[in-house]
Amino acid sequence: MKKIYYILMVLLVACNSNKTPETTLKEFVNYRFKSGQSRSDILKMVTGTVEERISNMTDEEFEKFTEVESLQRKKFKVNIKNCEAEKCFLTYTVGYSDNLTDSSYAVEARKIATLLKEGKVWKIADVNNVKTAIDTKDAIEAPVEKK
């Protein structure tokens, strides 16, 4: 009986441990690649600029923002971590591919996420794109402006 009690206590402590900025960011990125995202679920993970942007989106804009059916996440890596007590900057790389179109491509984006600690919870406050690379087997044709 003592062994069962000990195992339950260990599991309870492990499940309630504070998340790190890295795990918070990874969970956010993973959620962004899932179908059926809800505004309320995303708003629980964000604060600051990101919260403001998502709150102010129309339903149509939010639907487009969460449209990920053809995308599949291939890579996630935190490259640089610069943290203080209540604020953390994470430079990370996310790679994904498009699986449902005739013209398949792979994207690798490097971004900087700002996370703020609210109580015991880290939240995404801002995300800025640093660099994006797109690889495709097909030729990319740029539209030509007519004068």
The answer to whether residues 110 and 41 touch, using CB atoms and an 8 Å cutoff, is no
> Domain with 30 in it: what CATH number?
3.10.450.50
d(CA 91, CA 129): 10
Predicted pLDDT at 103: 61
Look at the chain and report how many structural domains it folds into: 1
Report if residue 146 sits inside a domain.
no
Predicted pLDDT at 135: 82
* Top-confidence residue, 119 or 12: 119
Range of the domain at 126: 18-136
Report if residue 75 sits inside a domain.
yes
Report if residue 31 sits inside a domain.
yes
Report if residue 51 sits inside a domain.
yes
Place of tokens 């005739």: 102
41-99 pLDDT tens trace: 999 999 999 999 999 999 999 999 988 877 877 889 999 999 998 999 999 999 888 77
Report if residue 6 sits inside a domain.
no
Look at the alpha carbons of 85, 124, 135, 143 in this order and tell me if their dihedral is positive or negative: negative
Helix (H/G/I), strand (E/B), else coil: 114: strand
Report if residue 147 sits inside a domain.
no
Q: How far apart are the first and last CA of the chain?
A: 83
105-114 pLDDT tens trace: 788 999 999 9
DSSP count for the chain of H helices, then E strands: 5, 4
Place of tokens 């087997």: 137
Tell me, yes or no, if the pTM score tops 0.85.
Answer: no
